[in-house]
Amino acid sequence: MNRIENFLELALNLQGRPEDLTFAQVALRAFIVYSVVICLVRLGKKRFLAQATAFDAILLVLIGSIASRGISATAPFFSSLLATAVLIATHSAFSYGSSKSRVFSNLIKGNPTPIVRSGNVEAKAMARAHMSWDDLLEDLRKNGVTEISDVEEATLERDGNLSVIKK
């Protein structure tokens, strides 16, 4: 066991300060963190990278922050990897829970908000969503719509995108 600890200390400088890391140690730390995070993300739900709800974006920010601290030695290396694994496991558990419970899903991911119904704009819904007229018109143009009257339904989805059903 002592040989493994000595090797890890030499290779990764586990006890050293950030300024004591060599380029090789930083590179090896980066390689290990990247490899572990890739494996952990692959074990997590497949959709969290495709859907950028606040629920998913928070995980990405936290993973980046914690993993980078392990690379730069501003936090203990293995503790950073463990924290990353716990975050991904928690995210997976929450994701599973949200697939089983609509209430839990709405609690952690939010609700879709109808913005246009039968060509009529829901001004109160826009205000609650902090959506301006310019935002609405831009999103409609991105969906190939130039006239609000041509919209049967437009919904601000939980990921922040506007889905549009034309008349």
153: phi then psi, degrees, rounded to nearest 5: -155, 135
**Integer Cα distance of 58 and 66 in angstroms:** 12
> Coil, strand or helix: which one is 76?
coil
Q: What is the pLDDT of residues 11-20, one digit of tens each?
A: 899 888 889 8
Predicted local distance difference test score (pLDDT) of residue 45 = 62
Residue 49 — very low, low, confident or very high, per pLDDT cuts 50/70/90?
low
For residues 24-29, average pLDDT: 92
**Integer Cα distance of 43 and 23 in angstroms:** 30
For residues 44-57, average pLDDT: 68
- CB 91, CB 59: distance < 8 Å: yes
Predicted local distance difference test score (pLDDT) of residue 73 = 93
Q: Which of 45, 63, 53, 52 is nearest to 108 (CA)?
A: 53
For residues 54-80, average pLDDT: 90
More confident residue, 130 or 42: 130
Predicted local distance difference test score (pLDDT) of residue 52 = 66
Q: Which of 80, 82, 83, 73 is nearest to 14 (CA)?
A: 73
Q: Which of 103, 98, 84, 86 is nearest to 55 (CA)?
A: 98
Q: What architecture is the 111-166 domain classified under in CATH?
A: 2-Layer Sandwich (3.30)
Q: What is the pLDDT of residues 86-96, one digit of tens each?
A: 998 998 899 88
Q: Does the pLDDT value for residue 162 go beyond 90?
A: yes
For residues 130-154, average pLDDT: 95
Identify the bridge partners of residue 144 per DSSP, sorted by sequence position: none
Tokens of 130: 């902090």
**Integer Cα distance of 80 and 68 in angstroms:** 8
How confident is the prediction for the chain on average, in pLDDT?
90
> Residues of 114-138 as b/e, b for ≥16 C-beta within 10 angstroms?
ebbeeeeebeebbeebebeeeebee
Poorest-confidence range of 44-48, 112-116, 147-151? 44-48
Q: Tell me how far apart the 2 most distant CA atoms of the chain are, in Å.
A: 74
For residues 86-113, average pLDDT: 91
Q: Where are the domains of the chain?
A: 2-107, 111-166
